[in-house]
């Protein structure tokens, strides 16, 4: 049988569709649920324990993957009316659609995974130039100014530690996703304020949530396309 | 290479000067080893202010390197014969400055042992990749040109390289400006005036430094050459201050909160220095070259980079105070640059003596 070039290409395209429809992992944080306990920091604790993120006493050199910002600092001064000014907002890497950090990285040590949109970090390739920290508009990245291991009080042997001189950040828990689990912060939240899933799949909980509720993102004017959404 | 060997020897004062530079460089190496051992925690940089003096000084020295064009272009394209003795100095200065700039990148890295990853995993979307290529290419060009200039009158291939080196010099500083001027999240740097201003300040700093070096080394460049260098410096400094004022206008008249927030007392102080230096240059003061050089070394080399990080995108104001280790390493790289300049200038000088036996010096 003779296959024409067109038929061959059509076949190829069909195969590509059947095998891998790229997913787009996203998170939505319902702030009204989050604010049921404004002092709660369980998400950050769970994340940092699961990923061996050290607690460094010098605040200027701290490492954080998910943390709390005041509403007006996360979304801009004039976005916060008196009802929300000062309220805590959990912030983390947005796993942007157009990540500035990936664009500027001179070695490809940080890259966007095609299959699900996660912005990943190869700490073994990073040269520690911190260009990504200058480029990220969300302050999502931390640098290991010194050896982080000496600041670890407990060590989870299931997850690697890092060394001095490289950058790190939230990974959307790719190691847990691979095991079919939800991210650590999503799982631990007592108010189920965080919803995580494949936004490209219309039947997923996150896709339905984004369809029905008004969701907003940080600094939409920059065009980074954050995949962390907030609902209020 | 005998020329180079001769350059290493000289008077007693010269030997002391060289010994002091060697000592400073050696001390810098020791400090850097400490930094390598303990991490960049030994500097004043932080999560919010991720770049500091090292990147600032890198930027400044790329400018000095690019400024060779202020003597190369008039001499080769416009046949300004007065520059016959300074053009080689300009090329020598470019060599020393690129080396210093590359050293500043090196000491800034968290994992300098992985520097080659930039070439092993080339990333064309990153301007740092292009900048490193442009800088190493520029270094090679200038080494070839300087060696050829010492060997004799320019051959045809040599002239072609000179023509290439002119836009290349402009490109290194333009790409360096693009490192910063394309970052959506850093309003202080996000300005189309960044590259033009970098070039203007570079073209002021280069001639200023050449004048200062001619004085320091008692190098007879000729009165007319010095006068023209001063002229270039004054015009370029005027353009630089003008562009700085344009930035101030946009930042403040637009009223966008994130813009004006980056202007701190330090930025104003540095702007004041630049204005004062310009006033001296316009008044033809003897101190103008020193003032122009110092004010731009501060503005580009010290203030520009931290100011982009303060406040952070979340509005946090984290002060940046360089540490003694950081200052020591910066000083050592300056000394390494001075060492190179000294040796290279002596080479140029001995060459001039050989080639112009009737020169009254
Ligand atoms: S939030 Fe910052 S670190 Fe995360 S993907 Fe976007 S630019 Fe990169």
**Average pLDDT over chain B, rounded to an integer:** 92
pLDDT in tens, B257-272: 889 999 999 999 999 9
Q: pLDDT at residue B230 above 90?
A: yes
* Interface test with chain A among B112, B310, B314, B319, by most A beta carbons within 10 Å: B314
* Domain membership flag for residue A1: no
* Interface test with chain B among A78, A93, A134, A167, by most B beta carbons within 10 Å: A134
Give the mean pLDDT of A56-63: 96
Q: Which of A62-71, A139-148, B99-108, B351-360 has the lowest mean pLDDT?
A: B351-360
pLDDT of residue B169: 96
Q: Is B158 exposed, middle or buried (0-12, 13-18, 19+ CB in 10 A)?
A: middle
> CA of B119: which chain A residue's CA is closest?
A107
Question: Domain of A78: which CATH number?
Answer: 3.30.70.20
Token pair, residue B71, equals 């003597």
> To the nearest whole angstrom, how far is the Cα of B2 from the nearest Cα of chain A?
39
Q: pLDDT at residue B82 above 70?
A: yes
CB environment A163-178: b (16+ within 10 A), e (fewer):
bbbbbbbbbbbeebbe
**What is the phi/psi pair of residue A111, to 5°?**
-155, 160
| Contact assignment for A127 to B112 by CB distance below 8 Å | yes
pLDDT in tens, B23-51: 999 999 999 999 999 999 999 999 999 99
Give this complex's ipTM: 0.92
Selecting from A102, A137, A143 the residue whose C-beta is nearest the C-beta of B313 gives A137
Query: Sorting pLDDT into bands at 50, 70 and 90, what band is B353?
Result: low
pLDDT of residue B315: 92
Q: pLDDT at residue B347 above 70?
A: yes
* Domain membership flag for residue A138: yes
Residues of the domain holding A145:
20-231
Residue numbers in A near B132 (CB within 8 A): 106
- Cβ A196 vs Cβ A206: under 8 Å: yes
* Domain membership flag for residue A8: no
Q: Mind listing the domains of chain B with CATH numbers? A: 2-354 (1.20.1630.10)
Selecting from B47, B120, B314 the residue whose C-beta is nearest the C-beta of A73 gives B314
| Contact assignment for A131 to B128 by CB distance below 8 Å | yes
Helix (H, G, I), strand (E, B) or coil at B225: helix
pLDDT of residue B5: 56
- What is the Å distance from ligand 1's center to A106 Cα? 16
* Domain membership flag for residue A34: yes
> CA of B108: which chain A residue's CA is closest?
A129
Q: Is B65 exposed, middle or buried (0-12, 13-18, 19+ CB in 10 A)?
A: buried
pLDDT: which is higher, A89 or B79: A89
pLDDT of residue B361: 36
Query: Sorting pLDDT into bands at 50, 70 and 90, what band is A123?
Result: very high
pLDDT of residue B2: 55
Query: Sorting pLDDT into bands at 50, 70 and 90, what band is B360?
Result: very low
pLDDT of residue B220: 87
- Cβ A168 vs Cβ A121: under 8 Å: yes
Q: Which of A83-87, A147-151, B2-6, B257-261 has the lowest mean pLDDT?
A: B2-6
Query: Sorting pLDDT into bands at 50, 70 and 90, what band is A4?
Result: confident
Give the mean pLDDT of A177-205: 97
* Domain membership flag for residue A13: no
Give the mean pLDDT of A5-34: 81
pLDDT in tens, A207-223: 999 999 999 999 999 99
Q: What's the CA gap between A160 and B164, in Å, rounded?
A: 49
pLDDT of residue A32: 97
**Residue position matching structure tokens 């080196």:** B165
Q: Which long-range contacts (CB under 8 A, 24 or more apart) does A216-221 make?
A: A216/A75, A217/A94, A218/A74, A218/A75, A218/A91, A218/A94, A218/A138, A219/A76, A219/A137, A219/A138, A219/B185, A219/B313
pLDDT of residue B217: 84
pLDDT of residue B334: 98
* Domain membership flag for residue A33: yes
Token pair, residue B270, equals 């540095």
- What is the Å distance from ligand 1's center to B255 Cα? 27
pLDDT of residue B155: 75
Q: Which of A106-120, B8-22, B161-175 has the lowest mean pLDDT?
A: B8-22
* Domain membership flag for residue A6: no
| C-alpha to C-alpha distances, B248 to A216, B27, B120, nearest whole angstrom | 32, 40, 41
Instruction: Kindly give, in sequence order, each residue whose CB lies less than 8 Å from that of residue A192, ignoring residues fewer than 6 positions away.
Output: A33
pLDDT of residue B293: 98
Number of domains composing chain A: 1
Q: What's the CA gap between B76 and B154, in Å, rounded?
A: 10
> To the nearest whole angstrom, how far is the Cα of B309 from the nearest Cα of chain A?
8
Any residues with Cβ below 6 Å from ligand 1, and which? A 93-96, 99-101, 119, 136, 138, 140-141, 169, 224
Query: Sorting pLDDT into bands at 50, 70 and 90, what band is B359?
Result: very low
Percent of chain B with pLDDT over 90: 82
Give the mean pLDDT of B235-247: 98
pTM above 0.90, yes or no: yes
* Domain membership flag for residue A156: yes
Q: Which of A14-28, B4-18, B92-106 has the lowest mean pLDDT?
A: B4-18
- Cβ A115 vs Cβ A19: under 8 Å: no
Query: Sorting pLDDT into bands at 50, 70 and 90, what band is B348?
Result: confident
Percent of chain A with pLDDT over 90: 88
Query: Sorting pLDDT into bands at 50, 70 and 90, what band is B1?
Result: very low
Token pair, residue B196, equals 């033009």
Query: Sorting pLDDT into bands at 50, 70 and 90, what band is A8?
Result: confident
User: Closest Cα to atom 4, ligand 1: which residue?
Assistant: A93
- What is the Å distance from ligand 1's center to B315 Cα? 17
Q: pLDDT at residue B125 above 80?
A: yes
pLDDT of residue B257: 84
pLDDT in tens, B192-216: 999 999 999 999 999 999 999 999 8
Q: Which of A27-36, B52-61, B72-81, B185-194 has the lowest mean pLDDT?
A: B72-81
- Cβ B125 vs Cβ A103: under 8 Å: yes
**What is the phi/psi pair of residue A122, to 5°?**
-100, 95
**Average pLDDT over chain A, rounded to an integer:** 94
Q: What's the CA gap between A208 and B195, in Å, rounded?
A: 46
């Amino acid at each position: 049988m003779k296959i024409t070039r067109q038929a061959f290409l059509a076949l190829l395209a069909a195969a590509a569709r059947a095998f891998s429809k790229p997913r787009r992992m996203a998170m939505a944080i319902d702030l009204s649920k989050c604010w049921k306990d404004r002092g709660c920091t369980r998400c950050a604790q769970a994340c940092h324990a699961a990923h061996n993120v050290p607690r460094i006493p010098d605040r200027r050199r701290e490492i954080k993957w998910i943390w709390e910002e005041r509403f007006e600092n996360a979304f801009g001064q004039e976005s916060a009316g008196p009802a929300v000014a000062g309220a805590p907002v959990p912030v983390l890497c947005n796993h942007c659609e157009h990540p500035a950090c990936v664009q500027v990285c001179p070695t490809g040590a940080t890259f966007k995974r095609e299959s699900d949109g996660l912005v990943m970090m190869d700490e073994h390739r990073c040269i520690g130039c911190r260009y990504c920290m200058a480029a990220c508009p969300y302050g999502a990245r931390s640098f290991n100014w010194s050896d982080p291991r000496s600041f670890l009080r407990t060590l989870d042997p299931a997850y690697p530690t890092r060394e001095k001189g490289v950058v790190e950040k939230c990974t959307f828990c790719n190691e847990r996703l691979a095991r079919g689990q939800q991210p650590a912060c999503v799982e631990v939240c007592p108010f189920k304020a965080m919803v995580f899933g494949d936004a490209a799949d219309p039947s997923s909980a996150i896709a339905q949530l984004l369809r029905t509720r008004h969701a907003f993102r940080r600094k939409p004017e920059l065009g980074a396309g954050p995949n962390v959404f907030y609902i209020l | 290479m005998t020329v180079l060997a001769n350059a290493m020897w000289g008077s007693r004062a010269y030997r002391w000067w060289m010994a002091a530079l060697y000592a400073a460089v050696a001390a810098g190496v020791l400090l850097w080893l400490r930094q390598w051992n303990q991490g960049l925690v030994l500097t004043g940089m932080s999560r919010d202010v991720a770049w500091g003096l090292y990147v600032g000084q890198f930027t400044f020295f790329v400018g000095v390197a690019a400024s060779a064009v202020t003597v190369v272009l008039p001499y080769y394209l416009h046949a300004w014969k007065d520059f016959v003795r300074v053009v080689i100095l300009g090329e020598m200065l470019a060599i020393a400055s690129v080396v210093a700039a590359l050293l500043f990148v090196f000491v800034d890295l968290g994992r300098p042992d992985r520097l080659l990853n930039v070439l092993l995993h080339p990333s064309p979307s990153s301007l740092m990749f292009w900048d490193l290529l442009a800088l190493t290419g520029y270094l090679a060009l200038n080494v070839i040109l300087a060696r050829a200039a010492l060997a004799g009158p320019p051959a045809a291939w040599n002239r072609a390289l000179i023509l290439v080196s002119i836009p290349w010099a402009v490109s290194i500083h333009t790409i360096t400006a693009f490192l910063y001027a394309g970052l959506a999240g850093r309003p202080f740097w996000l300005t189309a005036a960044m590259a033009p201003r970098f070039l203007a300040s570079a073209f002021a700093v280069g001639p200023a430094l050449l004048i200062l070096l001619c004085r320091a080394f008692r190098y007879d460049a000729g009165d007319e050459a010095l006068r023209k260098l001063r002229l270039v410096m004054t015009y370029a400094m005027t353009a630089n201050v003008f562009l700085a004022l344009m930035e101030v206008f946009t930042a403040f008249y637009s009223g966008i909160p994130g813009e004006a927030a980056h202007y701190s007392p330090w930025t104003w102080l540095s702007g004041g220095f630049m204005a004062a230096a310009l006033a001296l240059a316009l008044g033809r003061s003897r101190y103008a070259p020193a003032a122009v050089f110092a004010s731009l070394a501060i503005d580009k080399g010290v203030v520009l980079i931290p100011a982009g990080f303060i406040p952070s995108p979340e509005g946090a104001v984290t002060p940046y105070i360089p540490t003694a280790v950081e200052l020591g390493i910066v000083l050592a790289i300056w000394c390494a640059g001075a060492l190179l300049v000294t040796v290279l200038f002596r080479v140029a000088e001995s060459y001039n003596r050989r080639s112009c036996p009737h020169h009254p010096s």
